[in-house]
Structure 1
Amino acid sequence: MADKKPAESQFYTRPPQLGKWESLRVFLWNSETKQFLGRTGGSWAKILFFYLIFYAVLTGFFVAMLVVFFQTLDYKTPKWQLDSSLIGSNPGLGFRPMPPESNIESTLIWYKHSDKGNVQYWQRELNKFLNHYNRSNNAHADKLEDCRQFQSPSPNKVCNVKIDQMWHPCVKDAGYNYESAEGGPCIFLKLNRIFNWIPEYFNSSTVDQVQMSPGLKKEILEAESKNQHQVVWVSCEGENVADIEHIGPIRYIPQKGFPSQFFPYKNQEGYLSPLVAVHFEKPKRGVLINIECKAWARNIIHDRVDRRGSVHFELMID
């Protein structure tokens, strides 16, 4: 009996030393305490029940907020428009065809007219872009109407952009003039869409308030005399003195701007953005030409740094 240890000393006896694998085995399942991963079955049930309730409430709250949010949305009309929106009320210009995506930051249209493979890339890009303007490919073709110049379409209709032989050589059958041995290519311009934006057109009393080429001013005044000045005008020219010298004559098809029947854009079904095909009739070969195109309306502000109201690209034909 003298060799027996007191109960107090037995209570503080160290637990037996276990090896790594033995410790892992006991952690996974302790047969003495009936614990799995350090918890009993009751403890696991409580914690799982807690998280089940917690995430159910969290999911319900998130879904409720989404329902409230979608109740405030109009799928056809943006809540914030024009100056209240992020894109503002100053439309920019876009051009097609675009350079390959591998060089997405480039704005250079560079090709060799005698190189079929090189030319075909630009032609394919234009084919894809203009495919939507083919009435048979438009899912809302029944909404399209051949509008008269400067007259709004009928209710629930939109104006058609009909690209026919009047656009020659800026048509598919002519290869958009990229294979011409002497002439230059066709570049298509489009005005970026801004919901409910209405252009303020130039007339004889406002045309002198901005700096524009004398030729464009003359065209605006002549159009006003025929009551045909309700146009967002377009002009393209070389950016520098050398570019102006090398760019050559330019033809605008079907006219030098976007007429009023296409405005305002209100997210109409089947709506087609108006186009202007810019045909560079005889640009200098083997020279890089910097080109700037501008859209002209009283409420379009031009900023070359931010490319507001304009677009820049380069043209080089070998």
Structure 2
Amino acid sequence: MSEKKSEYYTRPPKLGKWESFSTFLWNSETSQFLGRTGSSWAKILLFYAIFYAALIGFFAAMLTVFYQTLDAKKPKWLLDESLIGSNPGLGFRPMPPDSNVESTLIWYKSNDKGNVLYWQEELSRFLELYNKDNNPHPGNIEDCQQGVKPTPGKVCDVKLDNKWQPCLAKDGYNYNSSSGGPCIFLKLNKIYGWHPEFFNNTNLPNNMPNHLQDKIKSLEGTPENKMVWVTCEGENPADIENIGAIQFFPAPGFAGQYFPFQNQDGYISPLVAVYFEKPARGVLINIECKAWALNIHHDRVDRRGSVHFELMVD
């Protein structure tokens, strides 16, 4: 009877850290790279290629279906159906520095050129688009008469001409005046498809300032009455006393020919420049400006139909 040979398990040689790592990178005995053979790597790469291709295709199909429901020019939900609603608010320029983003204070020293320069440059940047040469669609802009709508598909120009003095760049927007106050520009927030309803002698609200009521009555039946009117006044008795006289350029409101906004090429929002002739110096003045139309409702808390800012000139 032949003697059966005993077989024992031979423990693999103990490898050092570097030898272990190099073997993991490439094992010449098993032809494995990073623990896998070539066929194993091919299978796993093929699986992930098919998986991600299917995933990309699924999302591409979903986005295609989604974009079929959208219009590049017109929002899906309009006016009261939309989140912004049908009650426009007002905005003002220039804005305070980004470092104080929540502030609404316009504070400067008229004899400090560096301080004044910031506010002038902010306004110049904001007004760049109102130069036809800077508008991407200058051929779509035309001159409009008061109360006369532009050609369908066209938009009305906002001309910053000599009628706006002293609220022009060449006048420094009056920020460097030793006695007068600054010019602050107001704009009505854009709402797609919103039409203003104009006032006449029979529908004037009781809370409208008397001077504006008188102006509307005097313009009854004229194109100049087709206007979203603007008023600015001090919020408190002390502010009313310190604010001084105010002028509006080119008119105390936004002319009706600029409405409705329908995302037309080259459209620029109409502006009103508020010139504070001689505000009290060294005093913080709280100012509220309101837009007036039959379908603009005012809410001081939510700033509906109005805007608040503070002015301080040293």
TM-score (norm 1): 0.90
| Structure 2 counterpart of 1:76, one-letter code | K
> Are 2:24 and 1:43 equivalent residues in the alignment?
no
Name the SS of the counterpart of 2:220 in structure 1. Answer: helix
Which residue of 2 is the match for residue 240 of structure 1?
236
The 2-side partners of 1:185 and 1:212 are apart by 25
Alignment length, in residue pairs? Answer: 313
Instruction: List aligned pairs for 1:212-251, cutoff 5 A.
Output: 212-224=208-220, 226=222, 228-251=224-247
Q: Say whether residues 1:255 and 2:251 are aligned partners.
A: yes
Q: 1:81 to 1:31 in 2, by over 3 A?
A: same
Structure 2 counterpart of 1:65, one-letter code: M
Shift of 1:14: 5.5
- Tell me, in whole angstroms, the C-alpha distance in 2 between the residues paired with 1:101 and 1:187: 18
1:248 is displaced (CA, Å) by 0.7
Answer yes or no: is 1:150 the counterpart of 2:147: yes
Partner residue in 2 for 1:286: 282
Q: Is the 8 A contact 2:147 2:223 kept in 1?
A: no
TM superposition outliers: structure 1 runs of 4+ over 6 Å: none
Task: Go from structure 1 to structure 2 and tell me whether the alpha carbon gap of 1:2 and 1:239 turns closer, same or farther (over 3 Å shift).
Answer: farther
C-alpha deviation, 1:15, in angstroms: 5.0
* In structure 2, C-alpha distance between the alignment counterparts of 1:156 and 1:162, rounded to whole Å: 19
For residue 54 of structure 1, the aligned residue among 51, 54, 67 is: 51
Q: Which of 307, 311, 314 is equivalent to 2:307?
A: 311
What does 1:1-318 correspond to in 2, within 5 Å? Answer: 5=6, 7=7, 10=8, 16-208=13-205, 211-224=207-220, 226=222, 228-318=224-314
Point out the more displaced range, 299-308 or 245-254. Answer: 299-308
Q: CA–CA distance in 2 between the matches of 1:22 and 1:131?
A: 68
Rounded to whole Å, the distance in 2 between the matches of 1:29 and 1:173 is 75
- Looking at structure 2, the residues matched to 138 and 47 of structure 1 have their Cα atoms a distance apart, in angstroms, of 54
Counterparts of 2:88 and 2:78 in 1: how far apart (Å)? 13
Deviation at 1:95, TM superposition (A): 0.9
Q: Percent same amino acid among aligned pairs? A: 65
- Whichever residue aligns with residue 280 of structure 1, its letter is F
Q: Which moved more, 1:28-37 or 1:221-230?
A: 221-230
Q: Which residues of structure 2 form unaligned runs of 5+?
A: none
Gaps of 5+ in 1: none
TM-aligned CA deviation for residue 259 of structure 1:
1.4
**Distance across 2 between alignment mates of 1:296 and 1:119:** 32
Please give the alpha-carbon distance, in whole angstroms, between the structure 1 residues aligned to 2:18 and 2:169: 75
- Deviation string, structure 1 residues 185-213 (Cα, Å, up to 9, x no partner): 111111111111111222333223x5232
Counterpart Cα distance in 2 of 1:108 and 1:195 = 30
